[in-house]
Structure 1
């Protein structure tokens, strides 16, 4: 995935949130709104954009489901998050809470080359 293939930070956050919420069962707009601390109209607007992009499906006022493409995109973002969090905490000894918060911000802007170099470094 090149930097040019990347979605905006907001879209990536929504996809990652849906992926994580799915682990607890059904995903509804209200769950996404609560998790991201945004309004339900904001979630509805984002879901419409993600539907147009082919990343989610949703019946009117129904559950939200990731498509295969959406699941792949969400997994990519989540993996970046995990790599960054492990690096910040394990190598730089940043507290878990700060590592999580910083990884959440960095994961949307760091390029693939940097992520790959961090992965290589972590394997040593």
Structure 2
């Protein structure tokens, strides 16, 4: 395995990191179990193992947080995942709603040498197809100030910087609506269950369900 890390630990590190990448609340063991689809008892044992290796800090029934070493290792996994997604879209003809599961498998098998070759061939991309920033080889990562579309007030104008890849159906719907990273969105109206926006150069109002607006991040 790359860096000699087990796939299970890599998955845990990436999941803990991803939970706080776009919002501040740390992940709890129950949420971690749900995200990974494993039993809470399995999370308890793995978190103890990771804490013993200095990758996370944790108190019983409390939040799980990455240490500095854990964060660096998580970012290495994230880098592999996002570069692979970018490669699959640009070079292999995959759609952006098809790459996540493939990358989940390949990220554990790609060597550092192959990853460097993919990065170079793609021209050192800074973001993956969903707008997520790709960490540099040294673990550094840059993000613009952002705001979740669901929380944006009426009148807010921002450029789409990221769309969650958790739900492929949402990605397909947004693709059909012409919404992706780089598209400007202005919030025209809000309600309890939807937002009315105007996207890109199209003046026609577009209704986005709350679930969709909670998957889109705009520039602040």
TM-score with structure 2 length normalisation? 0.53
**How far off is 1:95 after superposition?**
2.1
- Who is 1:31 aligned against? 31
Structure 1 unaligned segments of length 5 or more: list them. Answer: none
**How far off is 1:64 after superposition?**
0.5
C-alpha RMSD over aligned residues: 1.4
Query: Structure 1 residue runs of 4+, over 3 Å off?
Result: none
SS at match of 2:122: helix
Count of residue correspondences: 122
Structure 2 unaligned segments of length 5 or more: list them. Answer: 125-220
Q: Choose between structure 1 and 2: higher strand proportion.
A: 2
SS at match of 2:88: helix
Higher RCO, 1 vs 2 (CA within 8 Å, ≥6 residues apart) = 1
- Matching of residue 17 in structure 1 with residue 15 in structure 2: yes
- Matching of residue 123 in structure 1 with residue 100 in structure 2: no
Q: Choose between structure 1 and 2: higher helix proportion.
A: 1
**How far off is 1:26 after superposition?**
1.9
Map 1:1-124 → 2, pairs under 5 A = 3=2, 5-23=3-21, 24=23, 25-123=25-123
**How far off is 1:89 after superposition?**
1.0
**How far off is 1:99 after superposition?**
1.2
What is the rounded CA distance, in whole Å, between the counterparts of 2:38 and 2:95 in structure 1? 26
What is the rounded CA distance, in whole Å, between the counterparts of 2:97 and 2:104 in structure 1? 11
The structure with the larger Rg is: 2
**How far off is 1:107 after superposition?**
0.4
SS at match of 1:86: helix
TM-score with structure 1 length normalisation? 0.93
What is the rounded CA distance, in whole Å, between the counterparts of 2:18 and 2:90 in structure 1? 23
